[in-house]
Structure 1
Amino acid sequence: MSLDAAASAAAGLGQLSLNRARARAAGFHGGHARRTAGPGSEFWQYRELQPGEAIDRVDWRRSGRSDHLYVREREREDPVRLWLWVDGTASMDFASRDGAPTKLDHARLIAAAIGLAAVAAGERIGDLARPGANSKPDSLFASIVSSEAQLPAGAMRAGDVVLLVGDFLDGPPLDWVEAAAAAGAVGTLVAVADPAEVDFPFAGRTHFEGVEPGDAEQEFARAENVRADYLAAWAAHLARLDAIGKVTGWTSFMHRTDHAPDAALATVAGWLRG
């Protein structure tokens, strides 16, 4: 997965304004300038004092150079920021067919494309794994493609919107999401799955290697005999993901790596736009 591929996918989305998060954060103020007058700390422009306004609003230094009284306006600040996170655990580096994209390939593309589309709209972006990374396209891409495994400790806040992309096979991070939602953040999870994980197409003698450190290898003489149990476990996994939305108001989407990422990108972008 390259920066060019992510940029191409982002271009297909157009500029991505985070309207859903901005609506949720109404009434809160942060540090993101929105190029309009309002509460904030940075100078925006001078304008003439309007009838009925208090005289103590006058900027006397500016007014002294004119025959009119002027007010110094600040630029409105906006608390909204998009935080991205890609699951970098070993289970993500998996494809059931030689030459097929891994789950990690698709996860990185989805996160980077959404991030770049938001940057194009002037939104602030952060990588949860590296909060200090800047949002220039090459820096954002470099940060996303070297993702770390664990969600970091630390509180989210009202105005934060979070995109988590992974397989969540160890269980969705419900406690982390609940804390973020309680702080006022909104977000979505994209659960990336290989088609073999969804369909369990195995039959006959099948050997399964461990993926994560400590995983045991398993071998079945007739893999089809465990298919029903596996599919029941997979359904429970999907139910846990679905429960996040019911508990927190966040949402989740499933994406298969044998499908083009366009539909998943459009779904996530549509949700973020509100």
Structure 2
Amino acid sequence: MLPHARAVFISDFMGDPVAVETALTEAADRGVTGALLQVLDPVEEAFPYQGRTIFESMGGMLAHETRKAGDLRDRYLERLAERKDRLATLAARTGWQYSCHHTGDPAPAALLWLFHAMERLA
């Protein structure tokens, strides 16, 4: 990224958080400002699964099968909340903006947030 540019990172940010932290810290060190927009499916926030469930990555490269999905709910939701907090803290520490958009909500709301977030950085 060019020094003093603006950037937008859009992802579910469910991968390695260290990679995001490294990229954002390096960008901030170059004077780059921007916004992190986390996009999650409402099901990821509710975790309504019970009984036998197979979880697969979008590309099908990773899979996890469990017979007691309900037993994973509290731990999963705790880790998701920690990840969201980690992203928000990282954004605040580097002068970036952070928001979480749910795919069940209208997309224009996320785009409007991005517009205003980038406008604040101008």
Query: Structure 2-normalised TM-score?
Result: 0.85
**Which of 90, 111, 119 in structure 2 is aligned with 1:244?**
90
Alignment of 1:1-274 (within 5 A): 155-158=1-4, 160-170=5-15, 171=17, 173-212=20-59, 214-215=61-62, 217-274=63-120
Describe the SS at the equivalent of 2:51: coil
Match of 1:115 in 2: none
What is the number of equivalent residue pairs in this alignment?
Answer: 118
Q: Deviations over 1:169-189 (max 9, x none)?
A: 112611111111121111001
Quote the offset at 1:222 in angstroms: 2.5
Quote the offset at 1:247 in angstroms: 2.0
Quote the offset at 1:204 in angstroms: 2.1
Q: Which amino acid aligns with 1:238?
A: K
Describe the SS at the equivalent of 2:65: strand
Higher relative contact order structure (alpha carbons within 8 Å, sequence separation ≥ 6) = 2
Q: RMSD across aligned C-alpha pairs, in angstroms? A: 1.8
Distance 2:64 2:31 in 1: 44
Q: Which has the larger radius of gyration?
A: 1
Quote the offset at 1:229 in angstroms: 0.8
Give 5+ residue unaligned stretches, structure 2. Answer: none
Q: Which amino acid aligns with 2:30?
A: A
Q: Which amino acid aligns with 1:200?
A: F
Give 5+ residue unaligned stretches, structure 1. Answer: 1-154
Distance 2:56 2:21 in 1: 28
Q: Which amino acid aligns with 2:42?
A: P
Distance 2:11 2:56 in 1: 20
Quote the offset at 1:219 in angstroms: 2.2
Moved over 3 A (4+): 210-214
Distance 2:52 2:26 in 1: 45
Q: Deviations over 1:8-61 (max 9, x none)?
A: xxxxxxxxxxxxxxxxxxxxxxxxxxxxxxxxxxxxxxxxxxxxxxxxxxxxxx
Q: Deviations over 1:98-138 (max 9, x none)?
A: xxxxxxxxxxxxxxxxxxxxxxxxxxxxxxxxxxxxxxxxx
Task: Say if 1:244 and 1:251, in contact at 8 Å, map to a contact too.
Answer: no
Distance 1:241 1:266 in 2: 20
Q: Which amino acid aligns with 1:199?
A: A
Q: Which has the higher helix share?
A: 2
